[in-house]
Every structure is written in structure tokens, then in C-alpha cells.
Amino acid sequence: MKKKKIMGKLIPCIMSICLVTGCAAYGNLQTASQSEDGDTAIAASDDPDETIGSSGDRTGSAGDGDENTGTGSAAATYGYDEKIELDEEDGTVSITKGGTYLITGSSDDCTLMIDAGSEETVTLILKDAKITSSSAAIYVASAGETELVLEGESGLINEDGFEAIGDEEIDAVIYSKDDLTVSGSGNLTIESGFGNGISANDSLVINGGSMTINAADDGINVNEDFLITGGTLKISAGDDGIHADVTLTADGGEMEIEGAEGLEATAVLINDGVISISASDDGINAAQKSEDTEVKVEINGGDITIVMAQGDTDGIDSNGDLIINGGRIDITGPSACDFDGKAELNGGTLIVNGEETDTITGQFMGGGFGRPGFGGTEGTEGGFGRPDFGGAEGTEGGFGRPGFGGAEGTEGGFGRSDFGRAEGTEGGI
């Protein structure tokens, strides 16, 4: 199929009309031309309202003409080089060049693949786009940086598992091998029936927009750093709400998270924002995932509410230090905090089970092994450390469930109520 050509004789007339009507804000859109192998390349169109609408695999690159501003708020702010309108059977739509692309329409079987140069920036404006995929709905194979700008109501769905793309094993509805940023004022719903909602091999930054993520595994999984400065996240996950291998930083925005663990990283830093977590393991967890930073939880601001399930659960669990300098933290659950390093409450408000406290108590204070019957003499330096429990004189760590630990807590007596030996000697049952 031949590419369409702009009719040179019409240019002076079109320019005159644009000056009168104000349509000069619109540049050249791109339209599609079919190659012999079935891919659809993009060429300049003489029809400013014409969009891509052909099916099958196709490849696109930003045009060299004037930008389009469009009529939506994101389009007006960013402008766009290319409009891609999805249809029901799109297959793979490849973007191979940096630029700004307006994505609209819907498809029942589509992967939008970005495969640009390592120094190029690709901006995707998702405006009322609906994509169902048998693999990743959006796959960033290569780019210097990719930005998703949310506009209107968009949805990305994979309910049946993820097919590999080439040699790449896919595990998320949005799968990015490079840096990814989300912004805008629209809403995006992500449904992942067999994996993560978003996986980013590098870093993920959320500056705006509203995302609802329902995922069988992690809502968001990032191999390096996660940062939120604005926008809204609502996540329901089978495993971690948000997981980052290195740092997880909240500088603003709102997060509502339900999962086995709410927030997990080597270092969790909360400076601002509204965070609500409902978890069945740890609400906030700092554990060694990377050698690039120290293990810690540090809270300097924000409004944080954590509700924990019953059982061996912790509102905040740090395998390193736990530092609270500000903010409001309200924890409901069997154990408020667990830490292996130092704990400091230097400011802010800490509420545990409805009561404000001026100290941080921890499960394993003293560093002992936390199973019953392993406490040292007099329960020192190693009884099970749930706060305020333990037997009489069970200093620094009698077993912490009510009625556990023998009298004096000596030599690690096993603490089922009414079953400990007198004085709890030598590991009695």
C-alpha cells in the first residue's frame, strides 16, 4: 500500500484557514501504511482527523511535523507527535522512536511495546484506552525513560497468565526494563490475575494520576527505587502491595494498600503523604534486599494508619533501625513494632491500639531467639519479646503471650498457661 502524500497545492489554503479558525494548534497526525510483511509503518497524513486504525502488528515513530495539542488536558499540556487509536485486534503495536504518543481506543489482544533508543524519552498519554493482553499490555523493552500520562478512564487487563515476549519472561501487566514515571490527572485500573500489576527493572516514580491495582502477586515490584510524590494508589495484592529492592520513598500522594505486606524495601523512607495499610504479615517491612543502602525504616512526616491481622504480625518490622522523627502513626494489631537495630521516637505521634505512647517497644528486644523455652536465666537477653507480657520478674523478654512463661521465667521454661513447671526450670513443659 502506498503512503499518503500531502497535497502541496492545498498548503497555502490550509494555512489561511488555520489562521482564521485557530486550528493552527494542530500539527500533522500520522496515519498507517501497510508493508509487505504485515507491519504498519507511519507516514504523514493529509487528513488532520485521520488516525491509525488498522489491525495486526505495526510499528510507529514520532513524526517530524508540528506537534498536536489536542483538546484534552494532558494532550494540551504535553502536545503529541502521534495519535494511535487501538482497534479490537491490534496484536503488537511498536513505538521505535522517542516522542509523545496519544493512545486511545480499545483492543482485546494487544501489547503496546516501546523499543526506542537508550537515550530517548517516550511519553504515552493514555486517554480512555482499554487494553486486554495475553502478555504485558505495556512493555518497555528499551528507552532512556518512559512516562505514562493518565487522562480520562483507562484500563489494562491480563487475567490468564503472561506469554513471553521473545526471550523476555513477563510477569506484569505493565512491564518495564527501564525507568518509568506515571503522572497526569486521569484514572488507570490494572487487573493482573496471575502476576504483578507493575514490574520495573529500574526505578518507578509516581507524580500524579489515580491508579487502582488488583494483583495476584505484588501490586508494584521495582528492582531499584520507588518514589511517590503525588497522585493516588489503591492496591489489593496477594503478596506485597509495593516492593522495592533498594529504597521506597513517600514524599506525598495517597496510598491505600491491602496485602500480605504493605510496603517492603531495604530502606523505607516516609516524609509525607496519606498512607493506609491493611496487612496479614508486616505493614511496613525493611529487610536486606540490596547492598546499596542500609536497612531501616525512617518516618519524618505523613499520616499513616496500619491495621494488622491477628497472629505473628508486626505493624512496622525493621531488620535494622526504626527512626520516627515526625508524622502521625496509628497502629492496630498484636505487635506494633519489631526492630533488630536501634529504635528512636524523636517526634511525631505514635498511637498503638488506640493509646498514644512515647516509647517504641519491640518484639525481640535484647536479640534473643523468639520461640518459647529458649529464654536465658531470668528471661534475660532472649526471652520471647512481646511487650508487657512474660512471667513474674520476666525481665527483658519473658514469652509474650498472656499466661506463658513459668514463675521467675528461669532457664527458659515453656510457657503454656498452667503447664509450666514450678520456677519454670530447665525447659519444663
Within a domain: 236: no
As for how many domains the chain has, the answer is 3
pLDDT digits (tens, 9 = 90+) for 158-187: 998 999 999 999 999 999 999 999 999 999
Residue 95: give the domain boundaries. Answer: 1-6+28-223
Query: Which DSSP string corresponds to 34-48?
Result: E-TTS-EEEEE-S-T
Boundary-marking domain end, from 363, 387, 413: 363
Q: Pick from 363, 398, 418: which residue ends a domain?
A: 363
Asked if the structure places residue 316 within a domain, the reply is: yes
399 and 364 Cβ atoms separated by less than 8 Å: no
Question: Are 135 and 212 part of one and the same domain?
Answer: yes
pLDDT beyond 80 at 7: no
pTM over 0.75? The answer is: no
Q: Using 50, 70 and 90 to split pLDDT, how confident is the model at 90?
A: confident
- Whether 352 and 375 share a structural domain: no
Whether residues 372 and 355 share a domain: the answer is no
Per-residue pLDDT averaged across 291-299, rounded? Answer: 97
Q: Are 426 and 337 part of one and the same domain?
A: no
What burial class does residue 344 get, using C-beta atoms within 10 Å of its C-beta: 0-12 exposed, 13-18 middle, 19+ buried? middle
Beta-bridged to residue 139, according to DSSP, are: 113, 175
More confident residue, 88 or 183: 183
Predicted pLDDT of residue 133: 95
User: Residue 239 above 50 pLDDT?
Assistant: yes
Which of 223, 257, 288 lies at the terminal end of a domain, its last residue? Answer: 223
For residue 238, the model assigns a pLDDT of 97
With respect to residue 17, please indicate whether it lies within any of the assigned structural domains. no
What long-range pairs does 328-334 form, CB within 8 A, spacing at least 24?
328/302, 328/303, 328/304, 329/299, 329/304, 330/304, 330/305, 330/306, 331/283, 331/306, 332/306, 332/307, 332/308, 333/283, 333/306, 333/307, 333/308, 333/309, 334/308, 334/310, 334/386
Residues 298 and 207 in one domain: no
